[in-house]
Amino acid sequence: MSASSTLSIAVIGAGIAGLACARTLQNAGLAVTVFEKSRGPGGRMTSRRFDEATLDLGAQFFSVRHESFRREVTRWLAAGVAAPWPWKLWHIDGKTWHYQHDGRERYCGQPRMSAITRHLAEGVALHTECRIDGLSRRDHAWWLHDPHGACHGPFDCVAISAPSPQALALVEDHDETLAAACRSVVQRSCWAGWACLETPLPAVPGVEHDWQAAQLAQGPLRFVARNQYKPGRAPQGETLTLLAHPDWSDQHLEDEPQIVACRLLEALAQTLPPGTALPRVGRLGAHRWRFAHPEHSTINAPAPDGDYRVTAAGLALCGDAWRGPRIEDAWLSGHHLGLALAAPHAQPTAPGDSHDL
């Protein structure tokens, strides 16, 4: 079958993995349709916008290790949707702050993390606010079903980039091997709190006043980002994203968002010098990621199946579950699946985009 034939592929999920898969397939000249349950693309790169500020709810930055991903990030930088950040990263152990010197490249979306996924979605057929809750197969083709009774298709292949527990619900009636793979991956939860403060955070002795982010060794809080110091965010005021440790998130998964946000903000306050008070809070809340990232020990990629899963019937899985928890891992998984699905049919339209395994 050639790229000009009727081969069509559905991608479920418009996070970084699903969009990487879709773009790779589209660059190979294949027909792709993406289905996303939310109002727009993003997944764990989702951002929230208020009148006075923008903050990132999930991933705060990403690093680069793999050469294929480096080339992709170079394209994002050229398009103006990504920029270096953070370079003023600290590590907090109790009340002791240490500047983190590791020389690693780190970037974030500009002017918000979701700018990257929106950039990847440009020119891709994308159905938003369309939750797919079932699959059926007839006449050698796949059909997608939503909760409103609509049926989407036919498709020759379906690539599912949802977290493994959600993917399991779609594949378990069709392929036990894929279902078993989904069951083998433990997805950890994460609470992401946020706070918009009326004035800047108080100074910490020995720490630059414009420190950008910090990792914490103990307590419920594992990472804090100051969104006003991210590229493209000026002149917004003090706006914090507060990510909880996975163990704490699992233990407090059903807590009220406001209670969670207060606990995480209190944990930050405890790292400040004695007698130091936090500024008044203008906005406070939290977002629960029930399936935030895979447990390292449960990931059974890359051997022998690579960082994606695909069957002869054209049912496939991609995402961080099959490689690792980083943004880079998710992108590589989706990109590699796209290459695998396109290989027998590809006539690349973007030089270099389809041959960089």
Q: Coil, strand or helix: which one is 227? A: helix
Residues 353 and 206 in one domain: no
* Residue 250 covered by a domain: yes
* Residue 79 covered by a domain: yes
* Residue 124 covered by a domain: no
Note down the domain range covering 88. Answer: 55-114+187-294
CATH value at residue 176: 3.50.50.60
**pLDDT classification of 215: cutoffs 50, 70, 90:** very high
Backbone angles phi, psi at 165, to 5 degrees: -65, -35
* Residue 43 covered by a domain: no
Instruction: Indicate if the pLDDT at residue 89 is higher than 80.
Output: yes
- Residue 346: the pLDDT is 52
- Residue 303: the pLDDT is 41
Q: Give tens-digit pLDDT for 167-201.
A: 999 999 999 999 999 999 999 999 999 999 999 99
**pLDDT classification of 352: cutoffs 50, 70, 90:** very low
* Residue 49 covered by a domain: no
- Residue 66: the pLDDT is 95
Q: Give tens-digit pLDDT for 27-42.
A: 999 999 999 999 999 9
Q: Give tens-digit pLDDT for 297-318.
A: 556 544 445 899 999 999 999 9
Residues 168 and 310 in one domain: yes
Averaged pLDDT, 123-130:
97
Answer with the one of 274, 294, 314 that is the final residue of a domain.
294
Token representation of residue 85? 């950040």
Averaged pLDDT, 110-122:
97
Residues 197 and 174 in one domain: no
27-41, 69-83, 91-105, 299-313: least confident range: 299-313
Residues 172 and 198 in one domain: no
* Residue 119 covered by a domain: no
Residue 196, strand partner residues: 239, 283
- Tell how far CA 352 is from the center of its chain: 24
- Residue 73: the pLDDT is 98
Residues 192 and 251 in one domain: yes
Instruction: Indicate if the pLDDT at residue 123 is higher than 80.
Output: yes
- Residue 300: the pLDDT is 54
Residues 106 and 136 in one domain: no
- Residue 5: the pLDDT is 53
Token representation of residue 242? 């507060």
Q: Model pTM?
A: 0.92
- Residue 299: the pLDDT is 60
Residues 178 and 217 in one domain: no
* Residue 47 covered by a domain: no
31-45, 170-184, 260-274, 342-356: least confident range: 342-356
- Residue 103: the pLDDT is 84
H helix intervals, 67-202: 67-79, 114-121, 164-171, 176-183
CATH value at residue 289: 3.90.660.10
Residues 100 and 197 in one domain: yes
Question: What integer best gives the mean pLDDT of the chain?
Answer: 92
Radius of gyration of the chain, Cα coordinates, nearest whole angstrom: 21
* Residue 319 covered by a domain: yes
Token representation of residue 147? 């909760």
- Number of structural domains (the chain) is 2
To the nearest 10 degrees (0 to 180), the angle between helices 327-342 and 16-27 is 30
**pLDDT classification of 55: cutoffs 50, 70, 90:** very high
Residues 201 and 103 in one domain: yes
Answer with the one of 247, 269, 294 that is the final residue of a domain.
294
Residues 191 and 269 in one domain: yes
Task: From 77, 153, 130, select the one nearest 108 (Cα to Cα).
Answer: 77
Answer with the one of 248, 266, 294 that is the final residue of a domain.
294
Residues 196 and 181 in one domain: no
Averaged pLDDT, 285-300:
83
**pLDDT classification of 4: cutoffs 50, 70, 90:** very low
- Residue 86: the pLDDT is 97
Burial of residue 195, with CB atoms counted within 10 A of its CB: 0-12 exposed, 13-18 middle, 19 or more buried: buried
Instruction: Indicate if the pLDDT at residue 25 is higher than 60.
Output: yes
Instruction: Indicate if the pLDDT at residue 132 is higher than 50.
Output: yes
How many Å apart are CA 229 and CA 213, to the nearest integer?
Answer: 9
How many Å apart are CA 14 and CA 16, to the nearest integer?
Answer: 7
- Residue 305: the pLDDT is 54
Residues 224 and 203 in one domain: yes
